[in-house]
Amino acid sequence: MSQSSQLSTDSPSPPAVNYLNADRGVWSWLTTIDHKRIGVMYLVSVLIAFLLGGIFAMALRLELLTPGPTIMGANTYNRMFTLHGVVMIFLFMIPAIPGVFGNFMLPLMLGAKDVAFPKLNLLSLYLYWTGATLALAGMIMGGTDTGWTLYAPYSTTTPTTVFPIVLGIFILGFSSILTGLNFIVTIHTLRAPGMGWMRLQLFVWGIYATSIIQVLATPVIGLTVMLVGIEKVGHFGFFDPSRGGDPVLFQHFFWFYSHPAVYIMVLPSMAVVSDAISAYTRKNIFGYKAIAYSSLGIAFVGFFAWGHHMFVSGQSVYDNGAFAVVSMLVGVFTAIKVFNWVATLYKGAIVISAPMIYICGFLFFVVFGGMTGIAVATVSLDVHWHDTYFVIAHFHFIMVGAVIMAFLIALHYWFPKMFGKMYHEGWAMVSAALIVLGFNATFIPQFLMGNAGMPRRYYIYPERFQSLNVASTAGASLLAFGFVIILIYLIYALVRGQPATDNPWGSRGYEWMTTSPPPKHNFHEPVVITQDSHSYQEPGEEVEHVVI
Amino acid sequence: MAHESTHAESGKAEHPTHGAGRYWIVWLLLCIFTALTVYTGHYHPSIYLALAIATVKATLVVLFFMHMTEAPGANRLVFSVSLVFTIVMMVGVFGDLLTRNPMSLPTGSVPSEIQNRATAP
Amino acid sequence: MSSSDGTHPGPRLAHHFDTIEKQDYAVRLGMWLFLGTEVLLFAGLFLGYTVYRHFYYEAFHEASRHLDLWAGTTNTIVLITSSLSVALAYHAIKQNKQKQCAALLIFTIICAVAFLCIKAIEYHHKFEEGALPGAFYHFSEVTAPGANLFYTVYFLATGLHAFHVIVGMSVLMWVLARVLKGEFSSTHYVPVELGGLYWHLVDLVWIFLFPLLYLI
Amino acid sequence: MNGPEDLLRRLLWLPEPGSTFAPRIDHLHYFVITVTMIASLLTGILAVVFLFKYREKRKNQSTPIVIPSVRFEIAVIGIPLFFFLLWFVQGYQDYVWYTTPPENAMDVYVMGKKWMWKFSYGGDGPNAIGTLHVPANRPVRLLMTSRDVIHSFFVPDFRIKQDVIPGRYTETWFQATKPGRYQILCTQYCGTWHSQMWGEVVVMDAPEFDQWLLEQRQGDHASRVDSGGDDGPAFHGSIVEYGKQVAMAQGCVKCHSLDGEPHIGPTWLDLYNKKETLEDGSTVIADEAYLTDSMIDPRAKIVKGFKPVMPTYKGRLAAPDAAALVEFIKSLRTPGLEAVPSKEAIYEPVKPAQHR
């Protein structure tokens, strides 16, 4: 609040020519190889996907208001939760932070003029659009009802249209691989002079770890969905038990990607928070190396943990034990990060603002969501919770509680840099409070539902679960209301917002060294890095050192 | 450029050149190993031997044809990490198959490892 | 250092790179990352193979005996030789021998075509015998349970590999066209190198597929 | 039930424990969830407290550099790791206990199919759809398979769950502690009416159960309790009885004898699991898949010595009818064979120690 009013006093006129108005016309956007424009196009695309997935989610919650049929039939419901999952995961979560903020910010943070392969970057966006179109075509052609998990042999025998959707996922996978590949090469080769590895911002570290997973895990899901598609169309028997195929093998394949995929979504969120928390507390990040290395640790260990999705699938008892232990290690890495964030708040100079409200919410959600993750990775407890609403609530705590909160933090934190406009802090704080509250109201009842034994993907449910479902739907409406407010004030800010200064938050992130919005080639003069990232001391300034 | 990376990362602009002879030697070795694997595979089939020979051949290709010996560290790391994850995938799945409750294996399957037990009754 | 002022045309430096070395380093790293992706793509199929071989040991053994070992061996030699020629082409261009490089690339592409022809003949045999994947399996000589899966894996793995052969061949043709236009030289040869790397990967996959499918 | 624990259970909406397994995992559940809630609330509250306590006092305020001590670092890694590993050890012990059925457990075969549960008691025991009768305080092992896609057998009150997979068997076991009726839910998505794939476990006192089993075995088919559930077909009598009705109604027995005599088609006596030689010389095991396929596509695999004259029953046999026919065929056994309990699975309790 205070920020924007202060800034209007010393705001210089924004640069006349920037990346937004350097070239004009739709065609100049569609053929651009400017990472910033590609980031903006990703932003528009993922927001549309989010809206679509959100509408599905609300429809599902409304359907679950009553135990019996409410507003739709069973087949519609089954298609809808599948589409909710596919849209939210493949079209929103996975590209959200890397696609939008990774593309936009990564080169700025490195002091580079662009990503290493700009054309490949554009190709990756086009592949995203192609995949999205195919998935949407699949929906229009009748949709599929397999759930986003596509478990064989149901997915290979269902009468619904599976093929366009799996083809869509396959192509989206390619888009994801190319983005990751591009980022890794960019980080290796395009760091400005003076930018050593230990001066990388934590957002860059997070994106780096994410990209490794994207490059190495995504081909496996590509192969898996193609096998499902081939099986559905050609009856090759690969996953078909009546032809000797092994449906449990499908689950191995699927989770070998889809567990690390959780970290494709979460690591960038943690990266955003690490960066933003330092900026809003005006304080050096606590434990830089620990946060950076724990990102790599999560990326690595995340590859060994997929079997904890299969504890009741008939998997070997020994494998279950091994996967359970490894899952605990992921928890430890996350715990290290959480301690570091909280310690960063300690003795800071915190600006009370919408992103800080999200950060407080984020900390609670990550601990609760993460520790319920540990709970479901505890083998015996998972026997009761597996495939119930407890698991749903757990992963929504991470997917919504962590990823969407971080997406909103990133959107607010970088909005002035991206568009050169300020949003209204007061409305932002109101909607932040609504969203944090609405989120809790939506998903805490779902934990209880899971305890009581309500299975996931239930169109009709026993009456004893109704009160909790009503509570959850009420919370979801609050959540939706919060998102609508954000949409309104951000659009207002785009059109009528106060012009932003180059660095309205006083952040020491390298991306703030250029103008808002940045010029076409990012910097007006060559960049030389002379300072550690997240360092809030003036050169030569004596500051107190506190040991905790 | 980043001070620390000029040497490590700027590639192999002036790596030691060698004659074409090395490629011919590798090719000859590959052919010999192919003959060996066909011979052993035909008369004494053993998957372990076949895989061992294939690994040797693959190593030759990677090291000399693909110039892994001269590649910078990052490229080596990338390729080895992909191999590590391949192994992780195999180990995870086989850890399951080999120790799974035998009745939870597909009907009609006679796993080599537990063949005796399954056919006993 | 190697700009386009010399006798040989040099590579173009993109605006966001400082030096050609850095740019070359970047594309090489990008290529290796892509190869890593490919490794994991095939890893999935190899895993499928090992799992089903473990389940249906007998069927896999029997079915493997019905593949044409000579065709497989010939194809192995063809691919190894093409790998050699592509490596030699790289060696040639580094020494500024454009013509030799072009000839070797043409030889590599001929090898690729030969490989595909032999593969097509093998496929044709399998179609006639009815040794086909999954539901289409009606090969009477191997009836042990799981035999259909051997052919499922066989067709999927060799099919995906053949697809890579076609892609690799197209890449090499594109490189060849540029070599013939005289675009490459001892100072600018990275595309030849990358095309070669991709081709070696195709060879690498076959080195493993061959014994696993034909010799167990 | 002691007070605080029962209160916690109600707060968490957990159903009353109905099996010997339930209290074991409930204790761990309380432990884990309490620590989780404390940890997350502490983090959240601490964040909010810091937010106000350390809010920016003046513009460009300088902040101290906070450095972790070794003690802090050890605590940050050690405390979570300690708790996580403790839970793992406890959880894994319980899990091993849960996956090791006692030797003396009573076996019930469970077949999941879209969208119903079928139970059969082995030998000449009764079959039931939708309702599983078990004795209280006796271990019961369930050997489960699926006819079509993956299902999952879940009884919230017993805290047990196990996926049911086509083409193979999985097992689970429980020992119910109190007579009563407990809901079975399917938790693996299996199609349109996944959410209606319910059943019921009826736990009876042991003597009462023995009596029930005896009655079931002694005929009087009309009084059998094959409740079809809400959506299941209304059978009267066992599934085998029903299969027999179907066989008569469809005219199967005109060509397939029930006494071992070859007729126009192969006899059904002892047909199940028999190794048949086909026309092309290959062999096939007459299992469920083969029998079902032969109803739908009879000419695909003709047994040697018979003519391809059977018409297809595709579209003429509903899925439950086909299933009942298969069960009927399975029931046709010569006396000598009948003594052997039907064993589709490799029957062996799994003791982890037996494996490598």
CA distance C44 to chain A (A): 6
Residue B6 domain-assigned (yes or no): no
D127 and D213 co-located in one domain: yes
Give the model's pLDDT for residue A264. Answer: 93
Q: Exposed, middle or buried, A538 (CB in 10 Å: 0-12/13-18/19+)?
A: exposed
Q: How many CB pairs under 8 A join A and D?
A: 294
**Quick check: is B26 in a domain?**
yes
Distance CA C204, CA B54 (A): 9
For residue D139, give its domain range. Answer: 107-218
CB pair distance less than 8 Å for B102 and D171:
no
Q: Which chains touch B (3 or more CB pairs under 8 A)?
A: A, C, D
Cβ(A115)–Cβ(A195) below 8 Å: no
Domain harbouring D162, CATH code: 2.60.40.420
Residue D124: pLDDT band with limits 50, 70, 90? low
pLDDT of residue A390: 95
Is A405 or A516 the better-scoring residue by pLDDT? A405
pLDDT tens-place string over residues A368-401: 999 999 999 999 999 999 999 999 999 999 988 8
CB atoms within 10 A of CB D351: 12
pLDDT of residue D350: 34
Looking at residue D237, its pLDDT comes to 52
Q: What pLDDT, on the 0 to 100 scale, is given for residue A9? A: 37
- Our CA dihedral for A393, A399, A400, A405, rounded to 10 degrees, sits at 140
Does ipTM top 0.95? no
A74 three-class SS: helix
Q: Do B102 and D167 touch (CB under 8 A)?
A: no
D223 pLDDT more than 50: no
D32 chain-A contacts, CB cut-off 8 A: 371, 374-375, 378, 381
Is B119 in the D-facing interface, judged by CB distances under 8 Å?
Answer: no
Positive or negative: CA dihedral D78, D84, D88, D89: positive
Residue-range domain boundaries for chain C? 20-214
Asked if omega into D115 is within 30° of 0 (cis), the reply is yes
Per-residue CA distances from A442 to A50, A471, A474, A475, A478 (Å): 17, 7, 7, 4, 9
In this prediction, residue D352 has a pLDDT band, given cuts at 50, 70 and 90, of: very low
Residue D309 DSSP label: -
Nearest Cα to Cα of residue A304 among A334, A259, A263: A259
Q: Picking from A139-148, A193-202, D212-221, D245-254, which range would have the lowest pLDDT averaged per residue? A: D212-221
Residue D151: how many other CB atoms lie within 10 Å: 32
Amino acid at A470: V
The Cβ of residue A121 has, within 10 Å, a number of other Cβ atoms equal to 25
In-domain check, residue B109: no
What is the per-residue pLDDT for A521?
Answer: 87
Asked whether residue D234 is assigned to any structural domain, the reply reads no
At residue A268, the pLDDT reads 95
Of A56-70, B28-42, D61-75, D112-126, the poorest mean pLDDT is in D112-126
> Does the pLDDT value for residue A267 go beyond 60?
yes
Tell me, yes or no, if B59 comes closer than 8 A to chain C by beta carbon: no
Determine, yes or no, domain membership for D227.
Answer: no
Average of pLDDT values for A489-496? 93
Q: Give pLDDT, residue C77.
A: 94
Q: Return the closest-CA partner of residue D144 out of C101, A167, A312.
A: A312
| Chain C residues within 8 A of A260 when measuring between CB atoms | none
Please tell me whether residues B23 and B61 are part of one structural domain.
Answer: yes
Q: Which of A313, A342, A356 sits opposite D163 (nearest CB)?
A: A313
Check the CA dihedral A17-A20-A25-A28 and report its sign. Answer: positive
3-state SS record for A215-269: HHHHHHHHHHHHHHHHHHHHCCCCCCHHHCCCHHHHHHHHHHHHHHHHHHHHHHH
* pLDDT of A163 higher than 80: yes
Give the highest mean pLDDT range of A5-14, A312-321, C11-20: A312-321
Contacts of B6 (CB under 8 A, 6+ apart): none
- Residue B99, classed as helix, strand or coil, is helix
The whole domain housing B29 covers 19-66
> Is the Cβ pair A223, C44 closer than 8 Å?
yes
**pLDDT grade for D63, boundaries at 50, 70 and 90:** confident
Nearest partner of A212 among A124, A274, A305, A302, judged by Cα:
A302
pLDDT band at C146 (very low <50, low <70, confident <90, very high): confident
Contact call for residues B44 and C206 (beta carbons, < 8 A): no
Contacts of B52 in chain C (CB under 8 A): none
Within 8 A of B4 by CB-CB distance, chain A residues are 196-197
Contact: A451, D13; criterion CB under 8 Å: yes
The DSSP code for A52 is: H
The pLDDT assigned to D219 comes to: 55
Q: Give chain C's end-to-end CA distance (angstroms, integer).
A: 53
Please say if the pLDDT value at position D243 is more than 90.
no
CB neighbourhood size of D219 (10 A): 9
- The answer to whether the beta carbons of residues A250 and A151 sit under 8 Å apart is yes
Domain count, chain D: 3
How many residues appear in chain D?
A: 356
Chains that touch D (3 or more CB pairs under 8 A): A, B, C
Q: Of residues D5 and C38, which shows the higher confidence score?
A: C38
Q: Do D167 and B101 touch (CB under 8 A)?
A: no
Number of CB atoms found within 10 A of residue A545's CB = 9
Radius of gyration of chain C (CA): 21
Q: Place C5 in a pLDDT band, splitting at 50, 70 and 90.
A: very low
Residue type, C69: L
pLDDT range class, residue D315, cuts 50, 70, 90:
low
Question: Any idea what DSSP says for residue B24?
Answer: H
**Neighbour tally for B13: CB within 10 Å:** 13
Q: How far apart are CA A512 and CA A414, in angstroms?
A: 9
CA atoms within 13 A on the CB side of A222: 23
CB of D301 closer than 8 Å to CB of D282:
no
Q: Which pair of structure tokens corresponds to residue A75?
A: 């087949």
What is the arithmetic mean of pLDDT over C185-202?
92
Residue D228 resides in a domain: no
Instruction: Please give the Cα distance from C148 to C151 (Å, whole number).
Output: 5
- Of A218, A211, A247, which Cα lies nearest the Cα of A231? A247
Residues A26-38, mean pLDDT to the nearest whole number: 91
Please indicate if any CB of chain A lies within 8 Å of the CB of D283: no
- Could you give the percent of chain C with pLDDT greater than 70? 95
- Quick one: D163 and D87 in the same domain? no
* Nearest CB to B107; choose among D143, D168, D348: D168
Average pLDDT in the D309-336 region? Answer: 71
At residue A85's C-alpha, the angle toward residues A83 and A90, to 5°, is: 100
SS3 A497: coil
In a domain, B11, yes or no: no
Which chains pack against A, by 3+ Cβ pairs within 8 A?
A: B, C, D
Give the C-alpha separation, D316 to C19, whole Å. Answer: 75
- The answer, yes or no, to whether residue D283 has pLDDT greater than 90, is no
Say which residue, D249 or B20, is predicted with more confidence: B20
Residue A400 carries which side chain, given as an amino acid letter? V
Measured between CA atoms, how close is C137 to chain D, in angstroms? 12
Q: Which residue in C33, C47, C200 is closest to B90 by CB distance?
A: C47
Query: Which B positions 50-109 lie with beta carbon below 8 A of chain D?
Result: 98-99, 101-107
Residue B2: inside a domain? no
Can you give the pLDDT at residue C79?
94
Across A153-157, B30-34, B47-51, D237-241, least confident range: D237-241
Vertex A242 angle, CA A238 and A246, to 5°: 45
pLDDT above 80: residue A39 = yes
Same domain, B28 and B51: yes
Helix H or strand E encompassing D106: strand D106-113
Residue D51 lies in a domain: yes
Cα–Cα separations (whole angstroms), residue D320 to A498, D122, D192: 69, 20, 17
Domain C20-214 has CATH 1.20.1630.10: no
Is C140's CB within 8 Å of D280's CB? Answer: yes
User: Which residues on C lie below 8 Å from B86 (Cβ)?
Assistant: 39-40, 43, 46
The answer to whether A310 and A255 have CB atoms below 8 angstroms apart is yes
Q: Based on the domain organization, do B55 and B79 belong to the same domain? A: no
User: Helix count (H) and strand count (E) of chain D?
Assistant: 8, 13
Q: Distance between CA A114 and CA C141 in Å, rounded?
A: 60
CATH of A32-513, one of 1.20.210.10, 3.10.20.30, 3.40.50.300, 1.20.140.10: 1.20.210.10
Mean pLDDT, all residues of chain A:
90
Of B57, A178, B70, the C-alpha closest to C193 is B70
- Distance between A110 CA and the closest CA of chain C, angstroms: 12
What is the rounded CA–CA span in Å between residue A132 and residue A87? 8
Average pLDDT on B33-60 reads: 88
Residues whose CB is less than 8 angstroms from the CB of residue D277 and which lie 6 or more positions away in sequence, other chains included: D283, D303, D304
Mutation site for A-interface testing, chosen from C33, C50, C132, C190 by largest number of A Cβ within 10 Å: C33
pLDDT computed for residue A400 by the predictor: 87
The tokens for D2 are 């002691």
Task: Give A169-182 pLDDT, tens digit per residue.
Answer: 999 999 999 999 99
Q: Could you tell me which residues come within 8 angstroms of residue C27 by beta carbon, excluding any fewer than 6 positions away?
A: A117, C190, C194
d(CA B104, CA B116): 16
**Does residue B115 surpass a pLDDT of 90?**
no
Average pLDDT over residues A329-352: 91
From residue D280, alpha-carbon distances to C139, D87, D277, D289 in Å are 11, 58, 8, 19
Strands D170-175 and D139-146: antiparallel
With CB atoms and an 8 Å threshold, state whether A282 touches D51: no
Which residues, 6 or more positions from D91, have their beta carbon under 8 angstroms from its beta carbon?
A: A324, A378, A379, A380, A381, D25, D28
D46, D136: one domain = no
Domain count, chain B: 2
Residue C15 buriedness (CB in 10 A; 0-12 / 13-18 / 19+): exposed
Residues in CB range of C99: below 8 A, 6 or more apart? none
Q: How far is A183 from chain B (nearest CA, A)?
A: 14
Residues C40-51, mean pLDDT to the nearest whole number: 92
Distance CA B30, CA A438 (A): 65
Against a cut of 0.80, is the pTM above it? yes
Higher per-residue confidence, A536 vs A423: A423
Interface with D, mutate which of C143, C148, C149 (most D CBs under 10 A): C143
Average pLDDT over chain D reads 80
Per-domain residue ranges of chain A: 32-513
Provide φ and ψ at A226, rounded to 5°.
Answer: -65, -40
Rounded (10°) angle between helices A288-301 and A247-281: 170
Give B11's contacts (C-beta < 8 A, 6+ positions apart): B72, C21, C24, C25, C28
**Low-confidence winner among A93-102, A279-288, C159-168 (lowest mean pLDDT):** A279-288
The answer to whether A189 contacts C22, with C-beta atoms less than 8 Å apart, is yes
- Host H or E run for residue D84: helix D70-98
Dihedral sign, Cα of residue C151, residue C157, residue C163, residue C166: negative
